[in-house]
Structure 1
């Protein structure tokens, strides 16, 4: 696990090495299957997902990089989360991925396992300066015998909510060690007050969290089957979530499908108490809501067993890229350049560079400080993360999403959904044997 506090104590050294394009670097890049473009004009493509706030500052960071590297032009491609993967998949199939791709942990093994991402190991210590990055943070990208993604930041799960709307529901505060029973009770009060408690939980993320609190995992260690044997765990978790929708304490899938971003969600409109999501999304949510928000930890019991720190996402380089060295230099700029990170300000997770962490702390807004503090708290109240999701996890995510919606609309019983999921998930994962 990334030691956040220890990383912050590392001494500041050159935060932005590797951009010189030396002969040694060019040789290393050539050996790694990269380019040796020197100062010749090059055009990179980069793709990411996110909301409007992320799009805007990312383009500013890219403009800054182009100013410092006038031979480089960067073409951008971006979308919301769901649309992003719909765009990326056919590009990958055609061997036409952008040079730099933002990759979620849920899709990481799918692309790395199919050799569609380049191994970054030859670039570490060369184009990508790792002086101020802890070994744990760097190793988060290891898959098989390579490292296919640069960890962009550290994240923690939690409930991000409006304390005034909570009080409107007749609840003064969220209990410090709240349980699933507390959660359901607050949801009922919210409904009585004409509010939603939340807009649901992403099934693969929060079911996996729930399993961890029970000492189980979603996937087995080999990645070729489910990690839990007792389907009553599935029934307990999804039965509760589906019932909240049926009770009108949480919106339906159809209602949620109309939401295009933080700017028009139920919390922003003042009809929903909070959102379950990763810590790096808090600042954009705060900006959209424009009201004071707070963090609450995950529900228990045994929250500490379930909670973990994870890479928020990775920047990876396409194996098909002809400009791997140039792409690596941009990734180095992203993670190590202090001026760039004065724009990023931890929105993609608490920075992995200790030097960057220390340099930007005085610039953090109250909301950004809340994120850093919550991640630091989470480090002390969490357990090691599970391995990277196995190949096939993207199909399993889609299956869980479909089943979750069917359960909410009473199109399938929770018990039948549990059996259906086990059969289909094991069939998908069994291909990894």
Structure 2
């Protein structure tokens, strides 16, 4: 059994590496950091987003770091996703950002252009940070124009999280290669047989819409702007409103009332699109049994999926770049941190942590099996570059789709506002 497991894991590394080797990002570099502190104890600030379960795991990992590095203290701060970036924008604009942040590809070009992020390459050259033993391709995930702006902590891909008990009761079985028509027919069957909304409503999820566009040979973003037309999104959102009114999608007012809990975890829907590693969240928040279903397709083959990654980045104004590098190095390489974090932020990025974490619970096994499946099936494609301003547009997409779903704007009005705000975002970040 042990031998079989490691063969499977080596197969996953090879398959994922082959896909990730094609992932490349190009952009301008950003500013470096200031000098490190002397020999006395120092305190660095670390901020991230997530739910309570992630915070509990993170605090355990930070405590372990402080135990092994007693001369470095870490002051932590975590917020829900939207609140995190609001706070960080204020801090960055005021010249007082945290020393280390959890980061994502959506924000690299924006903060690179503003010289907010620390180039970690000098710390690699000084021996304070290692880029060895990353799963193939991941070590360059945040390399921009020769500068290293972060190190990945895990990989993930979009999946479809389902309430397995509701699906079983309705007699619906998702399978790789199912089409959007198959998916919608399943939602209708779930609603009629169980009374539960089939889906929470994917209309506000930018990455869901990106997948649908990629299946059609398009993408949400090009290198310089949006990769779709107003008419494309208006048709998508008009259909979404019909499904809300029919009860196929969750009542948005009810979904808003239980936030930050997800609608599926709150038993308001049978499924929803999100990152595969978020299955951990559903198991912690919900009372049912949850699984990861494959992404529906247009042609039964092309899913439009890619591997993404959360990462840790230093900020350029830190007074302690050496300590920042020491902390990041520990968090991405230490085996015990891998065992603590599990797959909360994705399948672990370094071989030390990947091999240290033995998935024993159902959720982690599901995540590992899902990413192994999509890597081996050859559906993974290169990630679409995110231009500067992508984060503003993602927030606008979520806000405007929510307003539309609450009948505060028509689909056409919401689309017009999105394109207007996108034009402003691209101009101001140029």
TM-score, with normalisation over the residues of structure 1? 0.85
- What corresponds to 2:247 in structure 1? 248
- Give 1:139 deviation, angstroms: 1.5
Counterpart CA distance in 1 for 2:277 and 2:34 is 32
8 Å CA contact 1:199, 1:251 repeated in 2: yes
Return the match for 1:308 from 306, 309, 318.
Answer: 306
| TM-superposition CA deviations, 1:32-78 (whole Å, max 9, x none) | 64444464200011001111110001001111111111111111111
* 93-102 or 113-122: bigger deviation: 113-122
Go from structure 1 to structure 2 and tell me whether the alpha carbon gap of 1:348 and 1:370 turns closer, same or farther (over 3 Å shift). Answer: same
Superposition deviation, residue 177 in structure 1: 2.0
Structure 1 stretches of 5 or more lacking a match?
Answer: 10-30
Give the stretch that moved more between structures: 188-197 or 365-374.
188-197
CA distances 1:255-276 after superposition (whole Å, capped 9, x unpaired): 32222334xx443343421231
**Per the alignment, in what secondary structure is the counterpart of residue 152 of structure 1?**
strand
- What is residue 100 of structure 1 aligned with on the other side? 100
Distance in 1 between residues matched to 2:101 and 2:36, nearest whole Å: 21
Match of 1:209 in 2: 211
- Aligned equivalents of 2:406, 2:277: Cα separation in 1: 31
Which of 318, 322, 344 is residue 321 of structure 1 equivalent to?
Answer: 318
- Quote the residue 1:392 is aligned against: 389
Does residue 91 of structure 1 match 2:87? no
Secondary structure of 1:153's aligned partner: strand
Aligned to 1:375: 371
Q: State the Cα deviation string for residues 340-365 of structure 1 (Å, max 9, x = none).
A: 2110112111111123212223x542
State how far apart, in whole Å, the 2-side matches of 1:46 and 1:103 are. 11
Structure 1 residues 297 and 236: alpha-carbon distance in aligned structure 2, compared to 1, 3 A threshold:
farther
Counterpart in the other structure of 1:14 = none
Distance 1:324 1:157 in 2: 34
Q: TM-score, normalised by structure 2?
A: 0.85
- Residue 44 of structure 2 aligns to a residue whose secondary structure is strand
Question: 1:340-379 counterparts in 2 under 5 A?
Answer: 340-361=337-358, 363-379=359-375
Equivalent residues of 1:157, 1:307 under 8 A apart: yes
The residue that corresponds to 1:20 in the other structure is none
- Give the 3-state SS of the residue equivalent to 1:261 in structure 2: coil
Query: What is residue 140 of structure 1 aligned with on the other side?
Result: 141
State how far apart, in whole Å, the 2-side matches of 1:429 and 1:321 are: 28
Matched, 1:60 2:56: no
Residue 323 of structure 2 aligns to a residue whose secondary structure is helix
Q: Which residue number in structure 1 is paired with residue 180 of structure 2?
A: 180
Alignment-derived partner of residue 6 in structure 2: none
Using the alignment, how far apart are the partners of 1:33 and 1:82 within structure 2? 27
Counterpart residue number, 1:158: 159
In structure 1, the partner of 2:109 is 109
Match of 1:27 in 2: none
Q: Give unpaired runs (5+ residues) of structure 2.
A: 1-10, 18-30
Deviation at 1:305, TM superposition (A): 4.7
Whether contact under 8 Å (1:219, 1:227) holds in the other structure is yes
Alignment: residue pair count: 402
Task: Please tell me whether the aligned partners of residues 158 and 274 of structure 2 are also in contact (alpha carbons under 8 angstroms).
Answer: yes
Single out whichever of 156-165 and 194-203 deviates more from structure 2: 194-203
In the TM superposition, 1:280-291 aligns within 5 A as 280-291=277-288
Secondary structure of 1:304's counterpart equals coil
CA contact (8 A) 1:7 1:133 kept: no
> What residue number does 2:27 align with?
none
Give secondary structure in 1 for the equivalent of 2:302: helix
Q: In structure 2, how many angstroms separate the alpha carbons of the residues matched to 1:243 and 1:147?
A: 46
2:20 is matched with which residue?
none
